[in-house]
Structures are given as structure tokens and as C-alpha cells.
């Protein structure tokens, strides 16, 4: 965009507020990272407001990663105070996770928004079915294996999460529970590990965004949209407790099942766009 359209900025503000509220509520309600909602939400908002579509998926992913810094730090601190963060696992998995973020960022710098969208949609379907499983019922090991297994797992998780713009709870929690880590400690440790994705991932998407020569939505710093970031972080932090309160009165198992189908619907909607591009 060469000029800033005030009416579009107002529309952007209104839609961002609604998206942030939804992401924050679902994060508190279901214990999921907001990126699963924010990335497709940001992409569809930017697209429907008429911004150039070549790199919008990169902006959606990069902005989602940046939001995790604020929300993830708040969550990790709360879990740490409750003794739910295993520092040994943070060190073991986090080392590989940073490597994975570098790999994911390099991949994002060379793939088009089209293929980034395909990857997000296909992986979202896989995560939706993973969400339908009870991670506490399956155990592979009595304890987390010695290195380099956790680092390798972290690098794979870091790569996938960077390309999707998510904090990693959807993958970290199942991985740790498979290794006989209690669900509460898995969730707490995952919140801390999210920072190992968010901080280097944000820096990386700013840098590769500067290499982009196509127009981006207004107020973008590389592939990070500062307007969206400034709206999403405070609103998700404010709304998340409402989701937590609602979660104590509703069946989380049923809600997770419903949300998993919603994820599949979003993924199919994105894959339909991919089909139209080929048709």
C-alpha cells in the first residue's frame, strides 16, 4: 500500500479487537496458544481489507509470533510461581528449539505465502486430530530421554511452530506427556518454551521482512504488524481470565472437540483458496 486509508485503518482496528478477544478467550478456555486463531484470523482480515496477498501469510505468522512474547512471558511467570515449570526440560528442549526457529525462519524467507498457507492448513488438520486425543492416557517412556533426543525433538517442534506462528503448546505438551511428565508441568514448561520460539522468531521475521520488496499492510516492521500487535497483546491478556472462568463451568473435553472441528474447517477454507489458485 502506498497510502494509508483511514476507513481501512478503522476497519482494521475493529476486526483486530474482535480477533484478539476471541483468541484470548479461547486461550484461557482451552489452554491453547492464540496463534491457532490469530494466524488464519490475521490472514483473512488483511486479505478481505484488500491488502496485497503475496506476503500476507508471512505477516500473519510473524505478528502471531510477536504476540507470544508478551502473553507467553506472563503465562510462564505465573506457572513458574506455581512450581509448574521444569527448568531442566526448558534447557534440554529449548536448545534444539532455537535451532529449529532458525531453520523455520530460513525456510520462511525462501517459500512463498502460497506454500506457507498450504503448510499451515495441512499441519492445522493434524493438530486438530491431535487435540482430540487425551495426552495423559498414552505413555512411551518413563522419563524424558537423555540428549540429544530432547534437542532433536525441540528442533523439529521449533521449525514447525515457527512456520505456523504458534507457541508450541499443541506439540510440546503431547511430547512431554508421552515422556511421563504430568500434564500440569507439561503445560507450565511449554509456556516457558514458547519464549524460545517467540523471541528469535520475531527477530527473524523482522529481518526477512526487510528483504521483501512487495507492499505490506500499514504499520508493518518487516513481517510484524505493529498495529495488530499493539491491539492483540493487551486484549488477549485481559480476556484470557474470562475464558479460564468459563472453563470451570463447561466441559473442556467437549469444547476441545468442537474447537478441533473448527480448526479443520479453517484449514479446509485455506486449502480451498489453494485449489482456486490452481484452478
For each of the chain's 279 residues, which pLDDT tens digit applies? Answer: 445 567 777 877 888 898 888 887 877 666 666 778 889 889 988 888 777 777 899 999 999 999 988 777 777 787 788 787 899 999 999 999 999 999 999 999 999 888 998 899 889 888 888 777 665 666 667 787 778 999 999 999 999 999 999 888 888 888 888 888 887 788 888 888 988 999 999 999 999 999 887 788 888 999 999 988 999 888 988 887 777 677 667 666 677 677 778 778 888 888 887 777 676
Q: Give me the helices (H) in 111-182, please.
A: 113-131, 149-164, 169-178
Within a domain: 42: yes
Q: Which residues pair with 221 in a beta bridge?
A: 224
SS3 212: coil
CB 162 within 8 A of CB 65: yes
User: Nearest Cα to 151, choosing from 103, 199, 106?
Assistant: 103
On whether residue 63 sits in a domain, the answer given is yes
> Is omega for the bond preceding 148 within 30 degrees of 0, making it cis?
yes
For residue 130, being part of any structural domain is answered with yes
Q: Which of 35, 47, 45 is nearest to 165 (CA)?
A: 35
**Nearest alpha carbon to residue 109 among 163, 177, 45, 164:** 163
Number of compact structural domains in the chain: 1
Range of the domain at 223: 6-278
Give how far Cα 60 sits from Cα of 36, 38, 82, 137, 175, Å: 11, 7, 33, 34, 26
In angstroms, rounded to a whole number, what is the distance separating the alpha carbons of residues 174 and 157? 11
Q: What does pTM read for this prediction?
A: 0.86
Give the position of cell 491431535: 130
pLDDT of residue 143: 80
Distance CA 231, CA 24 (A): 12
Answer whether residue 1 is part of any domain.
no
Q: And the C-alpha cell for 268?
A: 479446509
Radius of gyration of the chain (CA): 18
User: For residue 1, what pLDDT is reported?
Assistant: 45
Q: Is the separation of the CB atoms in 24 and 112 below 8 Å?
A: no
Amino acid at each position: 500500500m502506498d497510502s494509508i486509508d483511514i476507513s481501512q485503518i478503522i476497519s482494521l482496528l475493529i476486526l483486530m479487537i474482535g480477533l484478539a478477544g476471541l483468541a484470548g478467550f479461547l486461550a484461557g478456555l482451552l489452554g491453547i496458544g492464540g496463534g491457532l486463531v490469530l494466524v488464519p484470523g490475521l490472514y483473512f482480515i488483511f486479505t478481505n481489507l484488500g491488502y496485497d496477498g503475496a506476503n500476507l501469510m508471512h505477516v500473519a505468522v510473524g505478528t502471531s509470533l510477536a504476540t507470544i512474547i508478551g502473553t507467553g512471558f506472563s503465562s510462564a511467570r505465573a506457572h513458574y510461581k506455581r512450581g509448574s515449570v521444569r527448568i531442566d526440560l526448558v534447557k534440554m528442549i529449548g536448545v534444539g528449539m532455537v535451532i529449529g526457529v532458525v531453520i523455520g525462519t530460513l525456510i520462511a524467507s525462501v517459500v512463498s505465502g502460497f506454500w506457507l498457507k498450504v503448510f499451515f492448513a495441512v499441519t492445522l488438520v493434524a493438530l486438530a486430530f491431535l487435540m482430540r486425543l487425551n495426552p495423559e492416557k498414552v505413555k512411551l517412556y518413563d522419563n524424558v530421554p537423555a540428549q540429544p533426543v530432547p534437542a532433536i525433538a525441540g528442533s523439529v517442534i521449533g521449525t514447525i511452530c515457527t512456520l505456523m506462528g504458534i507457541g508450541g503448546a499443541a506439540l510440546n505438551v503431547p511430547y512431554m506427556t508421552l515422556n511421563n511428565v504430568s500434564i500440569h508441568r507439561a503445560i507450565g514448561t511449554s509456556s516457558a518454551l514458547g519464549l524460545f520460539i517467540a523471541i528469535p522468531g520475531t527477530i527473524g521475521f523482522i529481518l526477512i521482512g526487510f528483504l521483501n520488496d512487495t507492499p505490506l499492510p500499514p504499520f508493518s516492521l518487516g513481517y510484524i504488524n505493529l498495529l495488530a500487535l499493539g491491539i492483540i497483546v493487551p486484549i488477549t491478556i485481559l480476556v484470557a481470565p474470562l475464558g479460564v472462568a468459563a472453563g470451570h463451568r463447561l466441559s473442556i473435553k467437549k469444547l476441545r472437540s468442537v474447537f478441533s472441528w473448527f480448526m479443520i474447517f479453517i484449514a479446509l477454507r485455506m486449502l480451498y483458496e489453494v485449489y482456486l489458485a490452481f484452478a
